[in-house]
Amino acid sequence: MDEAVPHLQVRQLTLQNFRNYDDLHLTFPGGVIAIVGSNGQGKTNIVEAIGYLSTLHSHRVASDIPLIRHDHTSAVIAAEVIRGDRALMVDIQLNTGRANQARINKVAVPRTREILGVLTAITFAPEDLAIVRGDPSERRAFLNDIATQQFPRLSGVMADYDRVLKQRNALLKSAGGARRSNLEAVSATLSVWDEQLVEFGTELMCARNELIVNLAPLVVSTYAEIAPHSEPLSLSYDDSLSRSEERPVTYDPDAVRKAFLQALDTKRQQELDRGITLVGPHRDELRLTLGRAPVKGYASHGESWSVALALRLGSYDLLARERATPVLILDDVFAELDTRRRRHLAERVADAPQAFITAAVDEDVPVDLVGCWLEVDKAEVTQRDR
């Protein structure tokens, strides 16, 4: 690994009213940290909090509500992050009924998304099977998490795109009834939103394409190492424009913008009829294939696990190469893997500057690699020797 790329490390973590913790302070060394405990004791909650700081959402639940301790109105996750030779404090307060509030070095930032990029982390968890087997939205969410960790400003573009999309869909819906009498007036307003949709959408599509181009070789080679007897894995970007036969020739912004506008033009009547926006990055797909068959629906259980693992480890390599070596989080996954996949994962763990591994029992952890053992029992965390 390039010496110029800094390593990231979580040195301290504080959780207040987060899940089942009322006030928890932990200090972590570098290297491999095992967090062991039976189900429901709170071991995953610790890595969930670290992951939250890196992506601004839980890897387990869609809403923040379950993260806030029962009978409380807010929760705090605070961490001291070491980046190369610098230390940064980052914290976020999760609130019910009002906006979350984040700080860097105790200074409030206007929007929580401004802490993205402070702590980068890659989490691999049983939930990741959904990336392989779930709806396209799961794969878009996977891409978005990597993209915003690599280029934090993209989260602002995504938020703007989502807002424009909502406005445009609201207009399409309301225009449905009035369109016979008032088509010209609707078109005039619609084209204003088209412009913004195309502006933000083009930026997202170009970023996604670049991400997939960079990510694909890393994921493909990792997959080949984990599953040498399987058909080769490939990743490709199936953007919604290509489905509408307006595929951009290249992914330079001008070509994408032109194709996007053309596609909107072609779909106008259909969009008015259905009351929704039919083209744009909100309908993109990350296509995963093994040999010639799509992974979804065709891959075996073991192959699906291997693809999910390869996607996460490839993302880890990409961030490590282009930004900073992220924190590696393996949540309850060793027990799910066969010997070969376990061995491969253990090799990666051995190389990681900092890795967190949660498991129900010691046997589900690569014991020889662990430098720090934490035992979790009913929200009590104690350090112990092996």
Residues that bind other proteins (CB under 8 A): 110-111, 160, 163-164, 166-168, 170-171, 174, 185, 188-189, 192-193, 195-196
Nearer to other proteins, 20 or 167 (CB): 167
Nearer to other proteins, 104 or 192 (CB): 192
Nearer to other proteins, 20 or 101 (CB): 101
Nearest C-alpha neighbor of 256 from the set 239, 237, 273, 232: 239
Nearer to other proteins, 73 or 174 (CB): 174
Closest distance of CB 109 from other proteins, Å: 13
Residue type, 365: V
Cα atoms found within 13 Å of the Cα of residue 237, Cβ hemisphere only:
21
| Alpha-carbon gap, residue 279 to 267, rounded angstroms | 8
Closest distance of CB 196 from other proteins, Å: 6
| Alpha-carbon gap, residue 202 to 195, rounded angstroms | 10
Closest distance of CB 376 from other proteins, Å: 40
Element (H, E) at 46: helix 43-55
Q: Where are the beta strands (DSSP E) in the chain?
A: 8-18, 21-27, 31-36, 74-83, 86-95, 101-104, 107-108, 121-124, 233-238, 285-290, 293-294, 327-331, 354-359, 370-377, 380-384
Nearer to other proteins, 200 or 334 (CB): 200
Q: Specify the length of the chain in residues.
A: 386
Closest distance of CB 169 from other proteins, Å: 8
Q: Are 114 and 53 in contact (CB under 8 A)?
A: no
Closest distance of CB 30 from other proteins, Å: 38
